[in-house]
Amino acid sequence: MSGIRDEAAPVQEGAALRADCGSCFGLCCVALPFSASADFAVGKPAGQPCGNLCTDFRCGIHDRLAERGFTGCTVYDCFGAGQKVSRVTFGGRSWREAPGSARQMFDVFPVMRQLHELLRYLTEALSLSAARPMNTELRRLLDETEALTRGDAAALLDVDVPALRGRTGELLARTSELVRAEAKPGRRKNRRGADLAGARLGGADLRGADLRGACLIAADLARADLRLADLLGADLRDADLGGADLTGGIFITQPQLHQAKGDATTRLPRTLVRPAHWSRV
């Protein structure tokens, strides 16, 4: 599996693309709506602060979110968009200090979150040695996207996010082909967008598979070989990854792992962290 990551390239998730809640004005707790469900004990509309948000923008039940019925919060990641909006776009003035800016700040946040998500994928693509032939195109789009994140609020609200996502998706698909080509041709299964909810795939050979956007809710992937697999946007809620091998897997995010089930024998890409709630056996 050598040569999958380019050590000289950017790390998959740089500090700017990780959430820093201490530098954010609790935007995900205010700007976003959520409905009472298995993921949220109560619902609220967009723009209304969550009842658990403290005056210092910290969560009052952060260490008890799951037990209090807010598992949806434990798997959310803004990819650093919260602190960018708080400290850069709005210059460190909170929606409480400047209530007149609140509506615009809350509208900008989901746009920034999408841009930071794209930056996260583009940064990972640039770290893949197999994708070196595409580095110029990837770097150009990454720089363009980063520049957009530094625009003012009005400019951010004017960004054509769907078009940008389409361009990014095309480059990432080509990156995926280059990376997955390192698996044997007969193994590169195309299950893109497939409905595999509850599928029994324990021990399956999915090396180099295209699982982009696949529904893998509650799928049995225990001991599956997912090396070099593309899991961009795959729904891994309650999927069993116990003993699975995801080394060399691409476009896997930390939130996806937090939504899944795994254990101490699950092998992960070096840039991802084993969730604390996973079984140790």
Question: According to DSSP H, which parts of 80-231 are helical?
Answer: 81-84, 102-126, 135-149, 153-157, 161-180
pLDDT at 277: 84
Whether residue 78 has pLDDT greater than 90: yes
Same domain, 212 and 145: no
121 shares a domain with 34: yes
Residues 97 and 204 placed together within one structural domain of the fold: no
Q: Which residue has the higher pLDDT, 14 or 217?
A: 217
For residues 144 and 235, membership in a common domain is answered with: no
Nearest to 112 by CA among 90, 80, 140: 80
Range of the domain at 21: 15-180
Q: Which of 227, 262, 254, 177 is nearest to 18 (CA)?
A: 254
pLDDT digits (tens, 9 = 90+) for 119-159: 999 999 999 999 999 999 999 999 999 999 999 999 999 99
- pLDDT of residue 249 exceeding 50, the answer is yes
- The reported pLDDT for the residue numbered 10 is 41
Last residue of a domain, one of 180, 203, 238: 180
Residue 271's pLDDT is what? Answer: 87
Average pLDDT, rounded, for the chain: 91
The predicted pLDDT at position 186 comes to: 60
Indicate whether 225 and 238 sit together in one domain: yes
- Residues counted in the chain: 281
139 and 220 in a common domain: no
User: What is the C-alpha to C-alpha distance for residues 3 and 98, in angstroms, rounded to an integer?
Assistant: 50
How many whole angstroms separate alpha carbon 234 and alpha carbon 244?
16
Question: For residues 144 and 161, what is the distance between their CA atoms, to the nearest angstrom?
Answer: 13
Q: What's the pLDDT tens digit per position in 166-198?
A: 999 999 999 999 999 988 766 668 899 999 999
Range of lowest pLDDT (10-24, 190-204, 207-221): 10-24
Question: Does residue 159 share a domain with residue 20?
Answer: yes
Enter the tokens of residue 9. Answer: 């390239």
* Alpha-carbon span 262 to 242, nearest angstrom: 4
The answer to the question of residue 5 being in a domain is no
Q: Would you say residue 6 lies in a domain?
A: no
Spell out the alpha helix ranges (H) of 88-160: 102-126, 135-149, 153-157
On whether both 170 and 227 belong to a single domain, the answer is no
